[in-house]
A and B are shown apart, each in its own frame.
Chain A
């Protein structure tokens, strides 16, 4: 039968012990009371004897290891080849005694609270002082249910505020995150403060309403600021759409995206990103389209435009519209563009310029089409293209718009 030797409690305050030196090795025979190991407690180094005779068949703790009191450190068996209990193998990991647990376990369930049955007029001294200062009678108010029993200072304060202000005035103050007590001080002569009074207060003191910024918006702001670091130049031009077939069944936007995409596919610089160490030229033309979703700006991406037909692009634009309505774009939807398009034509804007989004080589801002012509403002990342190259690209685009055969091929 195996006898476990545990890390002994050598002093009444000891919680862990360090194995300093084994005086016997595995396989040795040990007598009763023969010292087998040196252990350092919190007070001194002591020799610890074996309290049984037998063979030291297993040593489970190394010299230098710190073991909690009570954990098994060795095994004494009657015979040399004693088979070890499987349980012992598991116990090799030092176990934490519940006492040495440093983590506090605090009660998780609700702590039961006893409700005191007290008569009206019961209130804390602080509450009574406040009530007296303001000329209100706690007992009556408690009987009328307007103050709790017992009443505390904050209950009296709360009552006084509610009396002083109209309800809508208090809510207004809450929106402005104003302290009713401070506001009340400026209206000391008034009996009841109305919402008009509070609105006046806000106007006179020019107090702003604090509105929180959504995380999407914060993210956008961060990106825009990063975009500021991009050295930008603009090219202003016009685009004639008169060559586009009138009854094509496709929107102008669809045509524009397709032709722009084909040009980008041809002109590698517009498929490029830089980290100022290297240029990364992407293999396909991905364009993002600026879309408004309940006031937040998103830029979903139409991918591999050179491979797609007008029909397919039209479908994707529809999907984008749908997703915008539902407000759900996935991360994939929003990644991968190297060029961007922003269109304010539907808002009667003739010309504007847009900020280049992160990782794009440029963006084009499209204005309203007047007599088949729209004003375009191109913004380019000067680290990737220069003015001549930008102009070259624009010429390519314009030539494509005049190329009848090309346009016909898209239709067919």
Chain B
């Protein structure tokens, strides 16, 4: 099943089950969604529940807050995380704080979903990974989806939660197929162990997970070790238990993230894990992240600015050899 189809299925099921679930965003209704995630919903549920908004991100989130206060469960779509910057005031100053400031009286059961990440030559204003901006604000949950199972279950759970959720997707993953069955089970508050190992843990999320899996066998063969790969899953809250248990076992960890290194979210993961596992470690931890530059238009330069499977392989092998593997 395609990743975007899994999201579509989750939305469809939730809207069918619960009359209060509504979808709003730019071109989500009549047009079918810029990435076809909301395809078919407009025809099925009508314009009352699938709302095409003008280009006004601040108001998309702002009105969704209002709808949530009024008893609906809005699922707002921001076309890409880059445009969410226009809504940052609503996200940071209202969505995350209304419950707290009201002493728990106000509930905001809403989801703001958006894709992020580098696609292909869309230039710097359309290619960012901005999870740090959201994950560091107390009061909102931040989920990520790296394949169909996490997308489907993650989005359904996000809609059912009474907390505001930022649901991060990746634009390039929309067109990829992943395994899926309705009987699958996934708790979006937990990290997932995608592959077990005993000498090294690699943490990652969103599209980087797949880039890691593409080279993990070669890394194992070159360094003669067994590698554990974990999809970090939620960025807020971090499933520290799973993350630290893994590192206590393997004693070494690497984080692979698409956002620029300086200020990137991997630093949070690194410090949280390091605090618990310092004495267990047999090597310094490694972060493989994007370059500290805006993303350029030229394709060759664009690929230099983010981690790729080849770079992940080389960097981990080099680091491994320099640190006792």
Given A111-B314, A111-B321, A113-B322, check contact A152 B175 (CB 8 Å). Answer: no
Pairwise interchain contact B310-A124, C-beta atoms closer than 8 A: no
* Mask of A119-152 contacts with B, CB within 8 angstroms, 1/0: 0000011111100000000000000000000101
Name A153's closest neighbour in chain B (CB-CB). B282
User: Can you report 21 A-B residue pairs in the complex whose CB atoms are below 8 A from each other?
Assistant: A12-B119, A12-B120, A13-B175, A104-B215, A105-B310, A106-B215, A106-B310, A106-B313, A107-B310, A111-B314, A112-B318, A113-B321, A124-B282, A124-B324, A125-B280, A126-B251, A127-B282, A129-B279, A152-B283, A154-B282, A154-B324
* A residues whose Cβ falls under 8 Å from a Cβ of B: 12-13, 42-43, 104-107, 111-116, 124-129, 150, 152-155
Given A106-B313, A111-B318, check contact A126 B279 (CB 8 Å). Answer: yes
Name B277's closest neighbour in chain A (CB-CB). A125
Q: B198 an interface residue at 8 Å Cβ cutoff?
A: no
* Mask of B192-210 contacts with A, CB within 8 angstroms, 1/0: 0000000000000000000
Give the interface centre of B251, B281, B322, B324 by most chain A CB atoms within 10 Å. Answer: B324
> How many pairs of residues, A versus B, come closer than 8 Å at their CB atoms?
62
Name A128's closest neighbour in chain B (CB-CB). B279
Pairwise interchain contact B281-A125, C-beta atoms closer than 8 A: yes
A contact patch SS: loop
Contacts of B323 in A (CB 8 A): 150, 152
A111→B313 CA distance, assembly (Å): 10
Interface members, chain B 58-112 (any A CB < 8 Å)? none
- Please tell me which one of the listed residues B214, B282, B309 contacts residue A126 in the complex, with CB atoms under 8 A apart: B282
Contacts of A13 in B (CB 8 A): 119-120, 175
A115→B279 CA distance, assembly (Å): 24
Name A151's closest neighbour in chain B (CB-CB). B324
Contacts of B215 in A (CB 8 A): 104, 106
Chain B: minimal CB distance from A123 (Å)? 9
Chain B: minimal CB distance from A305 (Å)? 55
A210→B19 CA distance, assembly (Å): 69
Q: B30 an interface residue at 8 Å Cβ cutoff?
A: no
Name B309's closest neighbour in chain A (CB-CB). A104
Pairwise interchain contact A111-B317, C-beta atoms closer than 8 A: yes
Chain A: minimal CB distance from B171 (Å)? 9
Contacts of A116 in B (CB 8 A): 322
A207→B314 CA distance, assembly (Å): 43
A114→B322 CA distance, assembly (Å): 7
Q: B218 an interface residue at 8 Å Cβ cutoff?
A: yes
* Mask of B291-323 contacts with A, CB within 8 angstroms, 1/0: 000000000000000000110011001100111
Chain B: minimal CB distance from A228 (Å)? 42
Task: State the 7 A-B residue pairs at the shortest beta-carbon distance, nearest first.
Answer: A152-B324, A126-B282, A124-B282, A113-B321, A125-B279, A153-B282, A111-B318
Contacts of A128 in B (CB 8 A): 279
Q: B278 an interface residue at 8 Å Cβ cutoff?
A: yes
A43→B4 CA distance, assembly (Å): 13
Pairwise interchain contact A126-B280, C-beta atoms closer than 8 A: yes
Name A123's closest neighbour in chain B (CB-CB). B282
Name A114's closest neighbour in chain B (CB-CB). B322
